[in-house]
């Protein structure tokens, strides 16, 4: 039920998970196993050779991450977190492709350090260049309709608008705009990325018709990350199933669900009103 495609590639799950902020590499690995996410994101940072050797050692962060990704059936999705210019993002994407042997990249170009809002102009510039270099680009962006449309027109197979600023846990702050995106970009693949804090918020995103949800902090900073990962997996599944089943139309007035057969005709009329 969870599988879907981006471009011609099959993605195993509609829940995607980040790999940072966990209390330990083991908890991270266990949470990935519990979530069985379609993608697991990983950030590259400027590090010394000694730090890199420690991370890829038998007990290092990357070793456990790659092992968890392989056994859970997930895909690795490197990202360009921390970049503030198109040139910086392109360079980091090239490094990620060489290190992880993947064309997939989650493109982030931050324009404001306080809100971590993506820089729309630098984002478009970086996406254009990476697509020309044969990357599969999944851009993290705001919920701006024109920006999302532009990124899709450039050749991004999906766009990833935020629900709220990264790490805030505030959920879907602009329901109207997110509904508009889903309606106007009816054939596009849309993934909510950032700001999700509760399983109910992930379910709400799926009930709007979004194709997937990416989150990190809500699981990594939970008291029990492994149980929370499982809760999010179930919430995403339930939200997607509800959208596929067809949600009822909201009404302004109460409408009785009991039958009116056998009631006097004037009461039947009242019920229908």
Which member of 106, 179, 198, 263 is catalytic?
A: 106
Show Cβ contacts of residue 67 under 8 Å, excluding neighbours closer than 6 positions.
29
Joined tokens for residue 265: 């005709």
Joined tokens for residue 261: 């057969």
Q: Do 219 and 227 form a contact (C-beta atoms < 8 A)?
A: no
Kindly report the number of other CB atoms within 10 A of residue 228's CB atom: 21
Q: How far is CA 109 from CA 159, 249, 250, in A?
A: 14, 39, 39
DSSP track, 184-205: HTTTSEEEEES---SHHHHHHH
Q: Do 218 and 198 form a contact (C-beta atoms < 8 A)?
A: yes
Q: How many Å apart are CA 95 and CA 167, to the nearest integer?
A: 26
Is residue 106 annotated as a catalytic residue, yes or no? yes
Binding positions for 1-deoxy-D-xylulose 5-phosphate = 167, 194-195, 216-217
Active-site residue list: 106
């Amino acid at each position: 039920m969870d599988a879907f495609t981006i471009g011609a590639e099959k993605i195993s799950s509609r829940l995607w998970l980040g790999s940072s902020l966990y209390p330990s590499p083991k908890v991270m690995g266990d949470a990935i196993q519990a979530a069985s996410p379609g993608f697991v994101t990983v950030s590259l940072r400027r590090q010394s050779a000694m730090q890199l050797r420690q991370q890829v050692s038998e007990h290092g962060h990357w070793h456990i991450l790659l092992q968890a990704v392989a056994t859970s059936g997930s895909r690795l999705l490197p990202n360009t977190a921390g970049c503030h210019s198109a040139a910086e993002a392109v360079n980091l994407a090239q490094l990620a492709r060489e290190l992880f042997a993947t064309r997939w990249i989650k493109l982030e170009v931050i324009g404001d350090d306080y809100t971590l809002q993506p820089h729309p102009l630098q984002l478009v510039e970086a996406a254009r260049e990476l697509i020309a270099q044969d990357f599969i680009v999944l851009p993290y962006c705001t919920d701006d309709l024109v920006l999302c449309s532009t990124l899709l027109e450039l050749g991004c197979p999906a766009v990833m608008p935020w629900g709220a600023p990264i790490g805030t846990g505030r959920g879907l702050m602009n329901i109207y705009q997110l509904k508009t995106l889903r309606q106007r970009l009816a054939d596009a693949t849309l993934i909510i990325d950032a700001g999700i804090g509760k399983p109910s918020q992930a379910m709400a995103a799926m009930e709007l018709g979004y194709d997937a949800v990416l989150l990190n902090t809500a699981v990594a900073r939970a008291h029990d990350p492994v149980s929370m990962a499982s809760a999010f997996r179930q919430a995403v599944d339930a939200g997607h199933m509800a959208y596929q089943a067809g949600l009822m139309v909201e009404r302004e007035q109460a409408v009785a669900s009991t039958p009116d057969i056998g009631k006097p005709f004037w009461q039947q009329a009242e019920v229908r009103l």
